[in-house]
Amino acid sequence: MMVFPIHTMVHLIIFQTVISVTSSAHVMGHSKVIRFLAVGDWGGLPYSPFTTPVEKRTAQQMGVVAEMMGADFVLSLGDNFYYDGVNSVTDKRFQETFEEIFSAKSLKDVPWFVVAGNHDHLGNVTAQIEYSKVSKRWNFPHYYYDLNFTITDSNTTVTILMLDTVLLCGISDDFQGKGPEAPKDYTVANTQLKWVKDKLKNSRSDFLIVAGHYPVWSIAEHGPTSCLVEKLYPLLTQYKISAYFCGHDHNLQFIQDSNGIGYVLSGAGNFMENSTRHKDYVPKEWLKFFYTDISSLGGFVYVEITSDEMLITFIEAHGKSLYQTTIPRRSNR
């Protein structure tokens, strides 16, 4: 049972997707609010039944929340297909792990905006990008791209930069327990990093969000990503973003640094892991919420943005609201 209030909303939204070199997607939001779900690491299994109980239950509850609260879109935060991504655009995994699982009526016409994780990069990421031409709700125009939204009544603007943290930092070998050591191609990595810096520098959005697969900060099994702490964190701080969304560690976390930036980790879409291996790698006062009950059947994040604030709710797969916090509109743009 949902433990937060139900709002009524008008399900009218206009989408205009523009794919360019930077693969921008421009979306016009509702008159008063923008609502979305964020889930990572939901990618099932490469053998029958091609899903897990955690993924199935998380998908069902996402459908419940979308029906009760409304959802304009879903942020898919990587590791979309375990363990080795997909082979081609006709790979059956698209049906078996995605289309047939996230099948609630309330999610039928809700677009997914996708980034790749390390397991996706073990397969054919280009095929995932090409699948955007096959599925009306799968939107993955480029390895990295930006989303721009407007709340029309208040002219409040929201920008989300969707990153490929694997191209930035390299492959994380989960089976060997090794984090990313270096990008495969430094030219590709530096090109994306410059793109990120330019986008952040030029943004005047009221809410500025960055999303990728690897965490900047995490207390769990994988912990902070040293490459992102070194290269991305200074930019996030300098340009005063609102929040960074990620997955990779298989739990739910909210970390807020001394600058007020929120780090939203939503990686409980397929597995639950209870490691706190890196708890000493994050300042103790930064950790605001951590959920990793291995008996749970997963969870995700629900976000509501108004003209004044971004409301973030962590939801367990049986519908319990675990933690709720707000991030204010950016004041220095």
C-beta of residue 308 within 8 angstroms of C-beta of residue 327? no
The verdict on whether residue 30 carries a ligand-binding annotation is: no
* Rounded (5°) CA angle 191-25-166: 40
Write out the two tokens for 156: 């409040």
The full DSSP string for 21-37 is TT-EEEEE--SS-EEEE
The verdict on whether residue 173 carries a ligand-binding annotation is: no
Where helices occur in 74-152 by DSSP H, the ranges are 93, 118-121, 125-130
* Rounded (5°) CA angle 257-215-305: 65
CA trace torsion 108, 113, 117, 121 (10° rounding): 90
C-beta of residue 160 within 8 angstroms of C-beta of residue 209? yes
Distance from CA of residue 230 to its chain's centroid? 21
Amino acid found at 108: K
* Rounded (5°) CA angle 239-189-74: 65
Amino acid found at 168: L
The verdict on whether residue 82 carries a ligand-binding annotation is: yes
115 forms bridges with which residues in the sheet? none
The verdict on whether residue 118 carries a ligand-binding annotation is: yes
| Residue keyed to tokens 């943005």 | 305
User: What one-character DSSP code corresponds to residue 200?
Assistant: H
CA atoms within 13 A on the CB side of 2: 15
The verdict on whether residue 251 carries a ligand-binding annotation is: no
Handedness of CA 37, 42, 44, 46 (dihedral sign): positive
Binding residues: 41, 79, 82, 118, 213, 248, 250
Binding residues for Fe cation: 41, 79, 82, 118, 213, 248, 250
